[in-house]
Structure 1
Amino acid sequence: MLIGLAFIAMLNLFGLFWSLKKMVMDSGTRALDHLALQIGVCIVVVWINLPVYEGLFVRKDGGQMPTSDTCNSVIIVDR
């Protein structure tokens, strides 16, 4: 159950990083014209998923997501 939630959160985080990298590498303005709305939506979704990222990476108590779920979601997104 948690792998699906972690997968969607990681997919949006990787998508945000990819689009920001593409914007910086492609001289900014041309890529910004094409990616402005997508970047805005990704930022909103990443902001909404901050508690998920906290459970995946930051927390070290009982609220932490299992390490296997974190690894599985990263592996699935990376493919």
Structure 2
Amino acid sequence: MTRENERALVRWHTRLGQLNYGALQEMVKNETVDGLEFTGSVCAPNDRCSTCIQSRMKRMSYKNLDTVRSTVPYQKLMSDM
């Protein structure tokens, strides 16, 4: 894949809302979108976009560190200064 084709592929990937490259390949094969033409095979570029990386991350859940709860009002008071 040439560098220009790779840039165009990434551009379409971004324009279509981070669409996966397999679906892009199907769109090229079926000529679904006007102007979406590539010579050679459509494959994912080596460098992944940051949006795709972030969307695949799992959210870390934080455990409640404060196990002792107050039993009466104002027993424990927190404020920002």
Q: Does TM, scored on the shorter chain, surpass 0.5?
A: no
Structure number with higher helix proportion? 1
Task: Give the TM-score band, short-chain normalised.
Answer: under 0.3
| Higher RCO, 1 vs 2 (CA within 8 Å, ≥6 residues apart) | 1
Max radius of gyration: which structure?
A: 2
- Report the TM-score, using the length of structure 1 for normalisation: 0.27
TM-score, normalising length from structure 2?
0.27
